Structure 1
Amino acid sequence: MSQLAEAIECEAIALARYTRGTGGEARAIVYDTLPARSQLPRLSRSFAKDVLGKYFEFPKAGSIWMSSMMDDDTDGGLRQFQARRRFTELAVVPVSVGEKAVEFLEFHFVHELQHDSHAVLNLTVDTLVRTWRNRKPGLLTEAILRRKAAEPVMDIATPILSHENPARLSRAEFRLCLMFSRGYSNEAAQDELGISESTLRTHLRHIYQKTGTGSHSELVYRLLAAPAAAIPEKRIA
């Protein structure tokens, strides 16, 4: 992936798989040129759904979808990530479209793609799709499982709302969790914070990922299971 990023002059690449019928996000392995010490956000997930929208599950293999051609961004996550990294373009390429799963390659660029860059991308994509079609089965699954195993897992006994903030929640995410621990519903928290439903969904997705939870009910259980002394008593402001 590093050689591919250098060849087409992109800053980050994701290779992702979406399994039909799961209703979840695509699982991905990523390569990011960002230095480890940087405070900027690293690429950590697939943005294929943001770009393809309603065509996400049934795209044409080898087609190229550009973020600059999007009419809108359903949850703001992609635009926010691009703004923080100063990325101007994302190219999403479905490399395999099967009955059970769709697999994507995603290329993030700092510079706008000119005619020559588009030509290189088109040539590269054609080669990649043919190569991917002849790959050894199971390579992507194995890579995803290795990445999953290497990810740090938060100790289930660790209070999420402790002052140490072990899940590394942002201020907005921490505040949402504090509201949920005090009985706020999603709608009440959204109204209190004055945020849109799409922004709330984005915060929740990040919270689930950071806390190792998979649903609102599981998150609330973890929050309420924490020792009372670990939850700040100051008023939500």
Structure 2
Amino acid sequence: MYRATVKDRTQLVPFPEANDLQTRIARAFSLVTDWNAALNGHYNIQEVIDVASRQFESLNVSLFRLRAGRAWPIASACRQLDGLKPRVSSGAIASYVQNNHAEALDPGSIWRLTELREEAGFAGSPAHKEYADRPDIVEVSTIVLEASDGAIDCLEVTFDRPPNRHPDLPSSIVTQALADSWAARSPGLISRAIRSYGRARGRTGVANDNVDILGPHNPFGLSRAEQRVCQMIADGQKAKEIADALGVSLATVRSHMHKIYAKTGTSGQVELVVLVAEAKGGAE
């Protein structure tokens, strides 16, 4: 259970005489503070995304993890309009950036649809196809929070009107702060959020809490070899130790590990260990 409820400070005015820049800075500080609290388990991250969508004055905000070409939703929110529901990102822009700009996937970096459209190779991409028939979308900003082990965690903001930016408060200042907080998040928190999002929307292939991923039901569909490697990871063994114990190559073990992370929606060994421990009642 979360310790507090997020306060919507979208219309926060720091003091009566505050100018536009001072007001923006105060609201940005508030958002980053709430974001950091959510990533440490004090707030529900969905509530923070709800507030962020209003503060950004965007049509939609989607927080997701891209792994093996699939976007795993964490939270999403949209403008409160009749009949409008939050849109889960397809991850198409993030996939394009991963495939074409892997060396520049820096935490806090922003990849804008309007700028990517100027690249020669973008026209043939699924991302171009997705937005080519959406004249109502004027901009999509995909913010990289973390890129590691073949996965990318992103915050994607969709605008149906020009973003309301201020020249003296670059977006990169805020996105870098969001990425820094993301790097210091509580272990296992995002994997829990992915599973919670899936349960709330009835997605198939997403495990329930407290279902042993190493048990007989095998909710993530791990192969026998992957289950064996998963157990050894959960026991704290490193890739080289696993390879030696099983008499296989290090490349084979790493291949199993990548498949395990993809199937369980975890970002690496730390989150996988937490996931296994939670199912066995060994973690909060």
What range is the shorter-chain TM-score in? Answer: 0.5 to 0.7
Calculate the TM-score normalised by the size of structure 1. Answer: 0.53
Change (3 A) 1:153 1:115: closer
Deviations 1:148-207 (A, max 9, x none): 1122469xxxxxxxxxxxxxxxxxxxxxxxxxxxxxxxxxxxxxxxxxxxxxxxxxxxxx
Aligned: 1:147 with 2:197: yes
Amino acid at match of 1:52: V
Structure 2 unmatched runs, 5+: 1-48, 205-284
| Amino acid in structure 2 at the alignment position of 1:94 | V
SS in 1 for 2:171: helix
What is the rounded CA distance, in whole Å, between the counterparts of 1:53 and 1:130 in structure 2? 20
Alpha-carbon distance in structure 1 between the residues aligned to 2:109 and 2:203: 36
User: Which residue does the alignment assign to 2:137?
Assistant: 87
Q: Deviations over 1:28-66 (max 9, x none)?
A: 23212253624xx75122343365262365522211110
CA distance in 2, matches of 1:2, 1:117: 25
List aligned pairs for 1:149-188, cutoff 5 A: 149-152=199-202
2:99 paired residue among 54, 63, 76: 54
2:61 counterpart residue number: 13
Report whether the alignment pairs 1:127 with 2:177: yes
C-alpha displacement of 1:90: 0.6
In 2, Cα distance between the equivalents of 1:53 and 1:100?
Answer: 9
| CA 150–113 in structure 1, closer or farther in 2 if over 3 Å, else same | closer
Q: Distance in 2 between matches of 1:63 and 1:148?
A: 27
Residue 138 of structure 1 and its aligned partner are, at CA, apart by 1.7
Q: Which residue of 2 aligns with 1:28?
A: 73
Counterparts of 2:56 and 2:182 in 1: how far apart (Å)?
A: 18
* SS at structure 1 position matched to 2:61: strand
- Out of 43, 47, 56, the position equivalent to 2:87 is 43
Runs of 4+ in 1 over 4 A off after TM superposition: none
**Structure 1 residue aligned with 2:130:** 77
TM-superposition CA deviations, 1:17-38 (whole Å, max 9, x none): 122xx3x322123212253624
- The AA in structure 2 aligned to 1:7 is Q
Cα distance, 1:105 vs. partner? 0.9
Amino acid of the residue matched to residue 32 of structure 1?
C
Paired residues of 1:48 and 1:106 also in contact (CA < 8 A): no
Q: Which residue of 2 aligns with 1:4?
A: 52
In structure 2, C-alpha distance between the alignment counterparts of 1:153 and 1:135, rounded to whole Å: 25
Q: Which amino acid aligns with 2:131?
A: L
Gaps of 5+ in 1: 155-237
Task: Name the counterpart of 1:64.
Answer: 110
Question: Quick one: which amino acid aligns to residue 54 of structure 1?
Answer: N
Q: State how many pairs are aligned.
A: 146
2:198 alignment partner, SS class: helix
The whole-number CA distance in structure 2 between the counterparts of 1:118 and 1:56 is: 28
Q: Using the alignment, how far apart are the partners of 1:127 and 1:31 within structure 2?
A: 21
Whole-Å separation in 2 of the counterparts to 1:117 and 1:138: 37
Q: Is the 8 A contact 1:8 1:121 kept in 2?
A: no
Q: 3-state DSSP class of the match of 1:26? A: strand
In structure 1, C-alpha distance between the alignment counterparts of 2:139 and 2:100, rounded to whole Å? 19
Is residue 63–residue 155 contact of structure 2 (8 Å, CA) maintained in 1? yes
Please say if residues 94 and 105 of structure 1, whose CA atoms lie closer than 8 Å, have aligned partners that are also in contact: yes
- TM-score norm. by structure 2 comes to 0.45
